[in-house]
Structure 1
Amino acid sequence: MGETKHILIVEDDPVVADVVAACLEDAEFETTITSSGQAALNIISDTHVDLCVVDLGLPDMDGLSLTREIKSRTSIGIMILSGRGETTERIIGLEVGADDYLGKPFEPRELLARVRSIIRRTQPSGTQATTQTTVPSGAQRSDMSFIFDGWKVDLASLEITGPDGMQPQLSNSEFNLLQAFIEHPNRVLSRDQLLDLVHGDNTPTFDRSIDVQITRLRKKIESDPKAPKFIKTVRNRGYMFTAKVTRD
């Protein structure tokens, strides 16, 4: 993966934090440990961080709130590490922006594999997570721009501009998902197809992640996310992007 990656571990249990750090350091990652959500935000503001491992039960801030705050500021990859193993908690974690969710107790090799997968998905080689969006395995970016219903999607600058001139901030996976839709308009895409187009070989653990990402994307490009105009649900089949798409 090129230069040494810096992992921020936000965990209030010192035993768990030390186990996570030892696992990552054995794999030649640099680690920083903090037990405070606010301290984590300060570290991210002052120091380059490639990925955060976040516990849900922090003393000063809920881990879900911390995840949401980090994602509102940066595109750093986040893995939630928690003893709350219920499906609802996992889904909420993904909905607020986490890239993966691993329950406690965990197998160190699985932790390491998931961390590496998130970094591959969220960072091009040698590029800081806070400034760049990743191309999924097998996908290609170009200098091409697309237009649909007053929206402009620039694949080179990784920006989207709305009819009002505003530029909503999309996460890596949200931009990749939008690219998949605009390159396959008016075609039903199953969840499996979208997973392949968005994540390539680095398919996330939860297939439901596509539904979560679509919900987040709708909130950013649809005037009424509950009655979407562009991204339509096709019952028992998947999703379809129904806007007319042209190349700029």
Structure 2
Amino acid sequence: MPDDEASGAHVRIATLEEIEEVAAMLQRAFIASPVQAYFSNAKAPLTTHTKDAKRRAHQTKYIQFLFRRSLSLGGRLTVVIAATENRPARIAGAAIWRPPGYKKPPSLLASLRMGLLSVIMGWGTGVMARISDFAHPIEDALESSYAERKLPGTPEDSSWYLQLTGVDPEFQGKGFLSMLLQEAFQHAPNAVFTLEANTPRARDVYKRYGFEVVGEVIIGKGKVDALGVASSGTAATGFPMYPMIKVP
């Protein structure tokens, strides 16, 4: 561990009761996420200013919904618990993994109860179309990679997929992402793992853990800028996503 402050930190399975705490932590970690800016149809970058309190709350509700839905599909939510000299142990990082195998998605009514209605009310009715437009080209790139490598099955039914992971800004740089990844690798030592990185920096971090880039997908070209914020003209470059795979 690169910092003595992180000594004693450990990874464990999260409880349902901790979803709100996890989501609040990840909102801080993903405040500048181009993906979530795109999903929310943001007209300006999200900030910590009081004027953006409602927007931050909408982002937190989306993360809560994502976690509840993932857990309903058999997802595995892990958290890093850590303390500092001045504050007691708390959730410092989290990851949600979708295991191999297809489970029937929750019904619309069940999804609404999980928080989908709050997401739609906060981010507009177009949010589901934006999520679909985001997901399909990434899924296609991973499926093509499976075919090229002659791997059995599909990414959905035979890989552990990292749906979301993040570390509280206060704890970044202390090795907690590494702890979350290594715990997953130990849990499923002979598995294929898939994910998509949303920045070149994140892409290069995952490379260090054995992930290979299988493509580059530009999201929102002609609609959003590099931050995922609504734009037009030459500024509407879109932002890159890097589907990645780790084969045992």
Q: TM-score range by the shorter chain?
A: under 0.3
Q: Normalized per residue, which structure has more helix? A: 2
Q: Select the structure with the greater relative contact order (CA < 8 A; seq sep ≥ 6).
A: 2
TM-score of the two chains, using structure 2 as the length reference: 0.24
TM-score of the two chains, using structure 1 as the length reference: 0.24
